[in-house]
Amino acid sequence: MEFDFSYQNPTRIHFGKQALSKLPEELSYFGKQVLLVYGTGSLKRTGLYDTIRKILKDAGKTVCELSGITSNPTADKVYEGIELARQQQPDLILAVGGGSVLDCAKVVAAGALYEGDFYEHFFVKRAQADHAIPLGTVLTMAGTGSEMNGNAVITHTERRRKSGMFSECVYPVFSILNPELTYTVPKEQMVSGICDILSHILEVYMSPSDEDNLSDDLAEAMMRNLIRSAYRAIENPLDYTARANIMWGATVALNGLLEASKQQDWMVHQIEHQIGAYTDCPHGLGLAAVSANYYRLLLPYAPWRFARFAQNVWGIDPQGKTQEELGELGIGAMEDFFRALGAPVSLRELGLDERAPLDAIADSCRLLPGSYHRVTHAELRALLRKTL
């Protein structure tokens, strides 16, 4: 383990078929007023809304609601939530839904207690929040890992910016994870979540350090498990073991554990964020569309890493192959996996065409230090044209 690290995660997880039975106990630690945050309708169609409201009523809670959270949650919705939270002064925010709902709730939790403009402070200046309204979550879609981290991603539609914030104070106090609650998620959203999980692992894995370390071994095991579970879930969406593995894999992929002693990359996410800001595409599907060509760009700078990926994740025989050849086969195997799930592997399959403002998207990407190579805007423009 070459790099020093610090690790702490304060979120309490309740996982399994009976996980929701823990909600009354969790509610007992907080005051009477609860802000319930949820999405655009599926919660009521599945009956989970009525279940949650009954639990809140039985716990003696007074409830106000922020609903209508969409995928790629917007700054406008956050402003609406902040105003509501300041009026109602909830003792707890309870977010019920997928990562978009959780992310919006996190920013509301911090923004309601900040006197200035949340977007300028947390997303432009990238300052951390000093304090936030306590947050609990009931997860209904696996993918983002937002249930056990301090990250949140918001889209500012007017500025055409999709970006993230991090604050320790917005880690959920508790998160309830029942894989059965993901059964009703449409196939496209399930696939998008799977692609997001794989990308979270790869953003960390495709980086130094390169010597023997536990983080890489964990990442490889998680990727193999995700691949197996994804095929099983596609074949049978009611396969509890597969859905449970996917759900827990999503949580562990982005709760900080895999990041120990790793440099990290995160440029695939930066690219997709700006594609999403311009097109409002599903996050995980956008990641799938650009991943292969981004990693082909990175391959010459770290062929040993991609050769390891090919062998240890995809089981490709190294005999008679150079590291570069192995690496390309590993990237190709990942591309085939996306295709098998029904995910796009090009921007055209994502819905873009020659009229898309590819150069503007590329030039608006935030350039991170990266891992093995720091990309330029010129390289990103070429990458997006190649990926079209």
Q: Which amino acid is at 298?
A: L
pLDDT of residue 41: 83
Q: Which CATH number fits domain 12-181: 3.30.930.10, 3.40.50.720, 3.40.50.1970, 3.40.640.10?
A: 3.40.50.1970
Quick: pLDDT tens for 74-128. Answer: 999 999 999 999 999 999 999 999 999 999 999 999 999 999 999 999 999 999 9
How far is residue 41's CA from residue 45's CA, in Å, rounded to a whole number? 6
Return mean pLDDT, the chain.
96
CATH code, 186-387: 1.20.1090.10
Range(s) of the chain covered by CATH 3.40.50.1970 = 12-181
pLDDT of residue 1: 63
How far is residue 244's CA from residue 23's CA, in Å, rounded to a whole number? 19
Distances (CA, A) of 163 to 144, 217, 238, 271: 14, 30, 34, 11
Contacts of 280 by beta carbon, 8 Å cutoff, 6+ apart: 71, 72, 155
User: Confidence band (pLDDT; 50, 70, 90) for 3?
Assistant: confident
Quick: pLDDT tens for 251-292. Answer: 999 999 999 989 999 999 999 999 999 999 999 999 999 999
- CA neighbor of 284 nearest in space, from 144, 139, 96: 144
pLDDT of residue 370: 86
Are 35 and 65 contacting, i.e. CB atoms less than 8 angstroms apart? yes
- CA neighbor of 164 nearest in space, from 182, 151, 145, 148: 151
pLDDT of residue 4: 84
Task: For residue 15, give the H/E element and its range.
Answer: strand 12-15
**Helical residues (DSSP H) of the chain, grouped into ranges:** 23-27, 42-45, 48-58, 75-88, 99-111, 118, 187-205, 214-235, 240-253, 267-279, 283-298, 303-314, 323-341, 347-350, 358-363, 377-387
User: Confidence band (pLDDT; 50, 70, 90) for 6?
Assistant: confident
How far is residue 290's CA from residue 298's CA, in Å, rounded to a whole number? 13
DSSP letter for 128, please. P
pLDDT of residue 143: 97
How far is residue 14's CA from residue 138's CA, in Å, rounded to a whole number? 10
How far is residue 106's CA from residue 84's CA, in Å, rounded to a whole number? 14
User: What does DSSP say about strands 62-66 and 33-37: parallel, antiparallel, or unpaired?
Assistant: parallel
**Other CB atoms within 10 Å distance of the CB of residue 136:** 24
Range(s) of the chain covered by CATH 1.20.1090.10 = 186-387
Residue 161, both tokens:
């910016």
